[in-house]
Amino acid sequence: MDWFPLLNSLRIALISTGIVFFLGLLGAYYIAKAPRLVKGLLDVLFTLPLVLPPTVVGYLLLRVLGPKRALGGWFLSAFGLRLTMTWYSAIFATVVVIFPLMYRTARGAFESFDETLAQAGQTLGLSNTYIFWRIRLPVCRQGILAGTVLAFARALGEYGATSMVAGYTPGRTATISTTVYQLWRTGNDGLALRWVLVNLAISALVLVAVNLLERKREVA
């Protein structure tokens, strides 16, 4: 069995989750301070990928990142980098799809944060950066961790947008989910089942982690 799809899936999921962790936190933090109209618009925009079909996300990404499109074309001519049909193309797709999960859980956690803690920090002379990373985040850590794990789980399972933006090239862009589809389509049922079991094991592990975090949050 060639383990490349597992490694590829894991690196895509890890990198995407890492990016979305910061983007989601900052998005959730700054949207709370935005004026009402901007807040409403951004909230819709940030949550949209959650309800859009992944193929629509994939289509929109291809419109922007394709080699003949504005951004994709510029990258190709300036750096010689293709943004589509490479292994890292899946990161663009995954980041867009999992962003709403991180953003929404972080926003929920921030909303239950007691603002007097931040105000106390300010009057004590602590910088706003310190207050964000050392007080706000640790106090909200349960919700943020749960959001991160959820985003990671979703990243591992991303299929639709990834298959459109990164395609399926064995040994180059294949992930677990695109491999399962390809094996099933070509009638290789036995190998497909093995990848299904691998995927089930990982997903179950992640959900157990989420449940443990949630239980800890209730206790705390």
Under rule CB under 8 A, residue 119 binds other proteins? yes
Complex with other proteins: residue 106 or 161, whichever CB lies closer = 106
Give the range of 134-142, 161-169, 184-192, 210-218 binding other proteins by CB under 8 A: 134-142
**Sign for the pseudo-dihedral over CA of 169, 55, 210, 26:** positive
Query: Considering the complex, what minimum distance in angstroms separates the CB of residue 20 from other proteins?
Result: 24
- Is residue 122 a contact residue for other proteins (CB under 8 A)? yes
Closest CA to 20 of 152, 120, 128, 127: 152
Nearest CB to other proteins, comparing residues 74 and 133: 133
Binds other proteins (CB under 8 A): choice among 15, 23, 139, 209: 139
CA 204 – CA 52 distance, rounded (Å):
25
Q: Which is nearer to other proteins, 116 or 190 (CB)?
A: 116
Rounded-to-integer distance, Cα 142 and Cα 107, Å: 13
- Shortest reach from residue 138's CB to other proteins, in Å: 5
> Which one of residues 126, 191, 209, 210 is an interface residue with other proteins (CB under 8 A)?
126
Total residues belonging to the chain: 220
Region binding other proteins by CB under 8 A among candidate stretches 13-21, 97-105, 109-117, 206-214: 109-117
| Per CB under 8 A, 81 contacts other proteins | no
32 binds other proteins, rule: CB under 8 A: no
Can residue 219 be called a binding residue for other proteins (CB under 8 A)?
Answer: no
Residues that bind other proteins (CB under 8 A): 114, 116-117, 119-127, 135, 138-139, 141
